[in-house]
Amino acid sequence: MNQQASLIVETSSGEMEHFGMKNFLSLIDNYRQETDLEILTNFDHGPGLEECQAAIEAGYNLVHFDGSHLPYEENVKITKILVEQAHQKGVLVEAEMDRILGESRAHLETPESIQASGSYTDPDRAAAFVAETGCDILAVFIGNLHGVYQQEPRLDLERLRLIAQKVPCFLSLHGGSGLLEDDVKEAIQIGKIVKINVNTELRLAYRTTLENVLRGSDEVAIYKIMPPVIAAVQKVVEEKIQLFRQKQTCLFGHQ
């Protein structure tokens, strides 16, 4: 099914090293020309100043600097530098103040046990961070977790409302895999969420289907065994587009 939807496609730093920045950007540019779709590129969870600067110079449309592992003042300092450089080239900067927990895999732990080990985004602190850095998008932690779990993580939607009221920039929701659909819909309706990251569901659909195909076939021509794998990933993508379509903005990539 052709959804004709705007998308953001991204690479993590590890995926960037695997593909190469120029190769990835060229691939997306070719696809833009073939489909005439609005597709933005994002460098996700950039770990440091130099990596994010390289992504800006290479031509990514958005750069996400994850300074949540740094002291607050150092995070602010680097984010400000990146905002100034990025804006000169028309590139948007996403910042992260509070570490979004979990990993891109299937978890046996309960989401509550992981949520409890982190610090949810404080609305006033978030407003101060955005005022100091001038970032375009803030990645918030309101219970959203990287990965998928035995039960869906619940979002603190009241906290999101307070953040949206106090913060002037847009917001992003990482850990979009495995969330309750009603929570996602309400988060979008609250406003300012313009980017939702989905990755683990795509990876699991890819790997599970590929394993099943390989078990039932002795084919060695890779292109011949890929159609059902691609179809499985496409199904997840289409479902997410339909869920997120309230804002016409979603991201399929890391998370």
Q: State how far the Cα of 107 lies from the Cα of 203, in Å rounded to an integer.
A: 14
Q: Is the pTM of this model over 0.85?
A: yes
Residues involved in catalysis:
44
* pLDDT one digit per residue (tens) for the chain, 255 residues: 567 888 999 999 999 999 999 999 999 999 999 999 999 999 999 999 999 999 999 999 999 999 999 999 999 999 999 999 999 999 999 999 999 999 999 999 999 999 999 999 999 999 999 999 999 999 999 999 999 999 999 999 999 999 999 999 999 999 999 999 999 999 999 989 999 999 999 999 999 999 999 999 999 999 999 999 999 999 999 999 999 986 544 444 444
> Helices 157-166 and 181-190 sit at what angle, rounded to 10 degrees?
20
For 47, residues 6+ apart whose C-beta sits below 8 A from its C-beta are 13, 66
Nearest CA to 97 out of 156, 58, 139 is that of 139
146, 188 in Cβ contact below 8 A? no
Q: Which fold has domain 7-200+247-252?
A: TIM Barrel (3.20.20)
